[in-house]
Amino acid sequence: MSTYSLIFPAFNEGRRLAATLDVVLSYVSRQQWKAEIIVVDDGSSDGTAEIVRRFAQKDPRVLLVQNPGNRGKGYSVRNGMLKAEGDVLLFSDADLSSPISEAPKLLAAIAGGADVAIGSRWVDPKLQTERQPVLRQIFGRTYNLLLRLVLGLHYKDTQCGFKAFTRSAARQIFSAQRIDRWGFDAELLYLARIYGLRIAEVPVLWAHVGHSKINPVPDGLRMLGEMISIRWNGITGKYANAAARQAAAR
């Protein structure tokens, strides 16, 4: 029976994190999964870590990982992934914009032979129960087009915060990851592609949740710069070198 690691990056999620952990723990118990729930606190100032500690005291399945200050979502996901011990590793946004009950769809894709399974809002748009504001949608589709042109990532949705990995794929990808902030999703898929890993894009239920921490203009410009960095790293062989170092270390 496979074991699972569920990773939740969290920055100032004190308002909703307790409810999220209640939902996740209840679901894991009903499914009778052998699982660990890792919350990665990204330098929060609102009591996020204290909430996780309270849960961890009552339930050993809950683990707290703390970043050295606010380092970004990409850093948080990597930090959790490289500390996880499951056979299959899944990360999800703390707001559960894709319900944890959608996880079996990703796990089925992994069981079917995929190395990486990515939740998608756009394979079947009817599954979006609450769409993003129009300007956010325009930004997202424009970014997706640029990813196709610059990085060759021909997926309908790279940015959905709901992705699963085999243990070996996670070690290979996250050990080479360099992007610490919002552009990290594209880097993960770029790495998976150049390493020859099998990627499955899976339609999932998804609902827009307010209080997004992305600011479209400055974060959009940062993501554009990160996209160019990813392409440059690929051209100059930095990712290939990272893969070689990993192989030598094994």
Tens digits of residue pLDDT in 50-108: 999 999 999 999 999 999 999 999 999 999 999 999 999 999 999 999 999 999 999 99
DSSP, collapsed to helix, strand or coil, labels residue 35 as: strand
> In the chain, what are the domains?
3-249 (3.90.550.10)
Q: Using pLDDT thresholds of 50, 70 and 90, give the confidence band for residue 29.
A: very high
Residue 114 confidence (pLDDT): 98
Angle at Cα 166 formed by Cα 79 and Cα 169, nearest 5°? 70
Mean pLDDT of 126-134: 84
Q: Is residue 212 over pLDDT 80?
A: no
Mean pLDDT of the chain: 92
Q: Cα–Cα distance between 145 and 141 in angstroms, integer?
A: 6
Query: What percentage of the chain reaches a pLDDT higher than 90?
Result: 80
pTM for this prediction: 0.92
**CA distances, 109 to each of 6, 16, 139 (Å):** 16, 29, 29
199-203 and 116-120 as β-strands: parallel, antiparallel, unpaired? parallel
